[in-house]
A and B are shown apart, each in its own frame.
Chain A
Amino acid sequence: MNKILEVRGLSKTYGPGCPQCVESTGPEADTNLCPHCGSVVAIHDVSFDLFEGEILGVMGESGSGKSTVVKAIYFDQAPSSGEAIFYDSDKQHELFALNAARQRWLRNHRFGMVYQNPHLGLNFNISAGGNIAERLLMSDVMDYGAIRARAKALLARTEVLLSRVDDLPKHFSGGMQQRVQIAKALATRPPLLFLDEVSTGLDLSVQARILDLILEIQQELKTAMVVVTHDLGVIRLLTGRAIVMKYGRVIETGLTDQILEDPQHAYTQRLVASAL
């Protein structure tokens, strides 16, 4: 299997930071707030690999830093330190060493992101089709007919009624907004997709359909995905491998089945035991 993403030592601290930050935070210290300088150590020394066509789960409680990991790789927030290498067919990109324009290029052409809150991923002032068009225009597709056809095909694929292509997303239900977001993220056929709590907050039947859709797409396009969620059901259904985070540290990593059936770390054991 080919490696697609290699993350090493990713860290992000909010605040001034001090030499004691790292040792006085984390699962052992039971906090991510440094008592000496008041900085928040959102993530520290996160490392993982992602292979072609694989779905990696990142789980943990609220505030464990799981979203910060994908936000850093998707260039939403620059990390404090660490590196990430993206293997794009025959090229390698060291993500945090690139200039802003190159980062934007990668983000538009090669990555996709689906946020928990559709307001972050969609522009609510333009139509659903326009949202997909925006993404295609960002990646230099300049043919109106081609854009229109692709937008329709994507919305059909994600089961959004074609009669609503030109409606504003604010008139859509939450599940539909999420499906438009997925269509938008897939517009450029990215080899790497980030899903940040995609199904959280949706009712169960809609949740199931969104997850089915993601699995189907993954089978079809062999897209590598990083799925961030606190929902163990989602982890079990979607992912092959998972990492467990607490207070910004990776406390356990391995095959999903293994983690869920035979958790090693005390926190993971509690997490799995508490699942409904």
Chain B
Amino acid sequence: MNATPLTQGGNAYNFGFLDEYAKKEVRRAVLKAIAIPGYQVPYASREMPMGRGFGTGGLQLTLALIGPDEVMKVIDQGSDDSVNAVNLRQFIEMTCPGVSTTTKTTGCTLIQSRHRIPELPLTAQQIIVLQVPYPDPLVVVEPSEDKRKTMHGEADYSRLLVKLYEDIVKFDEITISHRYPTRINGHYVIDPSPIPRWDVPKLDDSAALILFGAGREKKIYAVPPHTRAEPLAFSDVPFRVEDFRDGAGQRRACARCGSVDSFLDEFVADSGSKTYQCSDSDWCDGVEASA
């Protein structure tokens, strides 16, 4: 194989920080993950110059996939300007010379995101990488990884459904707010990373490839383009997304741009009053500019 380092000029690091063997290993895991939708593929998960749990899984995917002509967008909880996103973006700019970065969802080719999928529908030219803290949805019901693997293999998710049952018994609704267990292509159930329920329907039949990277847990999995993604639910208690209506039944609008069809963050002022704003900053900017 050709694994010549792509060092350029005075830069001592290989292009994309990872050495070519490491990239190849991650890419193989990605191919396997795409071939078996929703299956958690183990991989080596290299040490990165940041703590595990800060997005190293997503970052390794990004660095293995990125090319010199890439247009990169990094999101942290919907925003391009929060600490995690800024740090990762600067790291990518530093280690991948020639790559351009953007905060716009339109036009970017690779997105690394923490806890959100952009509001704007992604296209077939785009890949989104999500950072995952806990890849296995069964971990809440079964501590042994060995048994979990068998359960995944046999698509035995009844104990997960019992959790939902108990939720409805206690609270009359399913109370999972994020990391909603979602069945991919009719078999494997994944933990879709801590995206809100609002984003779960975006996994279904997505035009873009969606990749999940867990650095600490050393797993990669994928929702390939145009693949079924069904959140677990009962036939008479269907899955539903967050309800942003106020007491009068009116859909709340973003305080900044006025959008009424995006996921809203709640801000509590010192006075105790609440305001709501788009979580996706690029969406908010876009709506505001067109108004």
Contact = CB atoms under 8 A, between A and B. Distances in A.
Interface of A: 100-101, 104, 123, 126-127, 129-130, 133-134, 137-138, 142-148, 166
8 contacts: A126-B162, A130-B162, A130-B166, A137-B165, A142-B161, A144-B234, A144-B236, A147-B234
- The 9 residue pairs across chains A and B that have the minimum distance between CB atoms: A144-B234, A137-B158, A138-B158, A137-B161, A133-B165, A134-B162, A144-B237, A143-B235, A101-B154
Nearest to A103: B154
Contacts of A146: 236
Contacts, number: 50
A187 B158 CA distance: 14
A147 B153 CA distance: 25
Interface string B148-166: 0010011010110110011
A218 B262 CA distance: 58
Contact of B162 (A100, A137, A148): A137
Interface string B134-156: 00000000000000001001101
Contact of B235 (A126, A134, A142): A142
A134 B142 CA distance: 14
Given A100-B150, A145-B236, A138 B156 contact: yes
Given A127-B166, A127-B169, A144-B165, A100 B154 contact: yes
Contacts of B153: 101
A138 B234 CA distance: 13
Interface string B224-241: 000000000011110000
A246 B154 CA distance: 37
Contacts of A127: 166, 169
Interface string B241-264: 000000000000000000000000
B124 interface: no
B168 interface: yes
Interface string B53-70: 000000000000000000
Contacts of A130: 162, 165-166, 169
A101 B154 CA distance: 6
